[in-house]
């Protein structure tokens, strides 16, 4: 069932066999990254197929008129698809055989749900001791919430991410992407690769237990250490930075600009560029600490000056002076950006558009050879 030859022999994970028992986002996202890196990923779908095939509009239509939701194509590129009904003995035997010969088994069923089919880690590892078995759940394999379902929106709320996001005067806000799912997928790939590396030393695989909540709490980073150091909840700052000023969104004559002069030198360059050399020796703005203490006054001064500029002119002068600045791009502008174009982030496979995994190697290539599979295409 596995490919006889690697999809791209010069891809980093060429020859790796991955069985994906996953659907929707976090698991398929991890599977797509592994596929882009060259792994042979076999996606096992129920007779109804991955539910995201129907999560449209928008739709993407294939050359023969068949269509699936764009959402599905965002997370399933480069895989093969088979259909299996776990209640059918022959289908189940076929999936078990794949698990017994896989390097990696990736699943995102509820905790314990695969045990009744003999596809849990204990059974798979007995037949295939070298298997790296990665489980993605909302809350992990242990703890009081282990058997609860996890959903991105709920995890963003529970993890503290929403409490830190949004206008300080408004509601806490989720991110515009499913950050908890996507981050868990990324962390899962890291965990899988670490376990594969360890397998080279020990000769056997292991269970990688990934939880959306764990991964989102892990993302708190400096905000977590703010609390751990002070015992105080970090404030919601909107577009401001809790530890740096001036840093935020400022008006220009034809829109808005992001400015991020994150140290004294960059800040002094910004003052000079804006023609406010008179403030270079102002004690209120001499250090980051004093700028934070006088944030409101400083932001008003910078906004007064940036309003005099056209966006492109200000961005060009900031780039020349090495001052971090950028436009607030809608998605269409992202894919028109010369840097995004130069890096080849947008791809097209048989007429199906997508965004490649963001890895660039000196001595390897990604395996971007075919689009998301049709349901059961390789069965």
Q: Which residues contact 67 (CB under 8 A, 6 or more apart)?
A: 56, 59, 60, 61
Residue 135 contacts residue 79 (beta carbons within 8 Å): no
Q: Which residues contact 290 (CB under 8 A, 6 or more apart)?
A: 283, 284
The DSSP string of 105-159 is: EEE-PPTTTTGGGT-SHHHHHHH-TT-EEEEEESS-SSSTTTTS---HHHHHHHT
Q: Which residues contact 180 (CB under 8 A, 6 or more apart)?
A: 152, 155, 156, 159, 161, 212, 213, 215, 216
Q: Is 181 a catalytic residue?
A: yes
**Catalytic residue of the set 36, 120, 152, 181:** 181
Rounded to an integer, what distance in angstroms lies between the CA atom of residue 291 and that of residue 284?
6
The alpha carbon dihedral of 141, 142, 146, 152 has a sign of negative
Q: Which residues contact 224 (CB under 8 A, 6 or more apart)?
A: 160, 217
Buried b (16+ CB within 10 A) or exposed e, 113-124: ebeeebbbbebb
Helix (H, G, I), strand (E, B) or coil at 279: helix
Rounded to an integer, what distance in angstroms lies between the CA atom of residue 312 and that of residue 328?
12
Active site residues: 181
């Amino acid at each position: 069932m596995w490919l006889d030859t690697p999809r791209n022999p010069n891809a980093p994970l060429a020859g790796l066999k991955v069985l994906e028992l996953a659907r929707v986002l976090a698991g398929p996202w991890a599977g797509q990254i592994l596929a882009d890196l060259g792994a042979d990923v076999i996606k096992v779908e129920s007779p109804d197929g991955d539910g995201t095939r129907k999560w449209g509009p928008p739709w993407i239509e294939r050359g023969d008129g068949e269509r699936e939701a764009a959402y599905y194509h965002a997370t399933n590129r480069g895989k093969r698809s088979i259909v299996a009904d776990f209640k059918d003995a022959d289908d189940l035997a076929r999936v078990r055989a794949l698990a017994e010969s896989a390097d990696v088994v990736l699943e995102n069923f509820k905790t314990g749900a695969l045990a009744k089919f003999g596809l849990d880690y204990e059974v798979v590892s007995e037949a295939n001791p070298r298997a790296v078995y990665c489980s993605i759940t909302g809350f992990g394999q242990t703890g009081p919430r282990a058997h609860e379902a996890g959903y991105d929106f709920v995890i963003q709320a529970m993890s503290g991410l929403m409490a830190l996001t949004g206008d300080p005067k408004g509601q806490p806000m989720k991110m515009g992407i499913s950050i908890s799912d996507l981050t868990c997928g990324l962390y899962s790939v890291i965990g899988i690769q670490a376990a594969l590396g360890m397998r080279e030393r020990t000769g056997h695989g292991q269970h990688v237990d990934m939880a959306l909540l764990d991964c989102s709490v892990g993302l708190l980073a400096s905000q977590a250490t703010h609390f751990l150091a002070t015992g105080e909840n970090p404030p919601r700052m909107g577009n401001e930075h809790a530890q740096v000023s001036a840093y935020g969104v400022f008006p220009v004559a034809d829109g808005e600009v992001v400015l991020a002069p994150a140290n004294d030198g960059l800040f002094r360059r910004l003052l000079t560029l804006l023609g406010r050399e008179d403030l270079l020796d102002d004690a209120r703005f001499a250090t980051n600490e004093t700028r934070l203490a006088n944030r409101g006054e400083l932001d008003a001064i910078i906004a007064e000056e940036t309003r005099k500029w056209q966006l492109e002119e200000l961005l060009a002068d900031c780039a020349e002076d090495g001052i971090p600045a950028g436009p607030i791009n809608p998605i269409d502008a992202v894919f028109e950006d010369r840097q995004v174009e130069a890096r080849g982030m947008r791809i097209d496979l048989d007429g199906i558009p997508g965004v490649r995994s963001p890895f660039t190697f000196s001595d390897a290539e990604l395996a971007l050879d075919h689009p998301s599979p049709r349901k059961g295409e390789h069965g």
